[in-house]
Amino acid sequence: MEYAEYRAHDAVGLAALVAGGEVSAAELLEVAVARAEAVDGKLNAVVRPMHDLARERARTPLTGPFAGVPFLIKDLSQDYAGLPTGSGSRSLAHLPAERHSAVVERWLEAGLVIFGKTNTPEFGAKGITEPEVNGPTRNPWDLTRTPGGSSGGSAAAVAAGVVPMAGANDGGGSIRIPAACCGLFGLKPGRGLVPAGPATAEDLHGAATNGAVSRTVRDSAALLDVLTARPDPGGPYLAAGVGAGGEDVE
């Protein structure tokens, strides 16, 4: 697949191509990796490449609504087992996570191919993405400007066409600010809808939640369906409308 065709599709569209046998997960991954390598020297969006892990995964049978679609996760509250979650801090840069976060597990179950972790300000505490440990991320529309924060690395990667959507999270605007800065769609899910475990029952006393930034509303909607498909067994709430197994509650 040529990059222009890759860029013309959102994640739902790419998944349909994979499901229809028009392109393979491995082919999509190589297009995404090539794009990341072409632009990230200027953007500094991806701070932890996972290319070998992703290539191994792309060669295996994948199922789910996003099977074969390349994806990036944020280097904050989105643990990938065996790799550090640096959270934009030197203190955590080399401490590997013991297991996947619940959201990462659900993204993997959905068939996404995770090939990197994106930059974030230290502990997600700013509306710009300029951690001392990793350096600043730049806005692909104007390299003299910020992509916002704290999901600035994810937003820059999506706006630059590396991936059609990427993992993000939001306590006080960390999805919405970078979406606005980079011309993307950003939805902060409501409290209790998206699992925060297994490390915590909820983040920032319930004010923070995981989600994504994307180029299309349907991608964010479909990804939210993935994240809320079933209740969180370790969560403090059972969200209205979701029951055991994901059935609607009358």
pLDDT digits (tens, 9 = 90+) for 202-212: 999 889 999 99
Say if residues 208 and 77 touch (Cβ distance below 8 Å): yes
Which residues face 213 on adjacent strands?
166, 186
Amino acid at 203: D
Q: Where are the domains of the chain?
A: 3-234
Q: E-assigned strands of the chain?
A: 46-49, 70-74, 113-118, 165-170, 185-187, 209-214
Q: Which residue of the set 151, 174, 214, 220 is catalytic?
A: 174
Q: What is the mean pLDDT of residues 162-176?
A: 98
When pLDDT is cut at 50, 70 and 90, the band that residue 242 belongs to is: low
Query: Residue 74 and residue 147: Cα distance in Å, rounded?
Result: 14
Residue 30: name the closest of 62, 64, 70 by CA: 70
Q: Which residue of the set 77, 89, 150, 214 is catalytic?
A: 150
Determine the topology of domain 3-234 in CATH: Amidase signature (AS) enzymes (3.90.1300)
Q: What is the mean pLDDT of residues 217-245?
A: 82
pTM for the full model?
A: 0.95
Quick check: is 74 catalytic? yes
Quick check: is 174 catalytic? yes
What does the DSSP 8-state code read for residue 240?
T
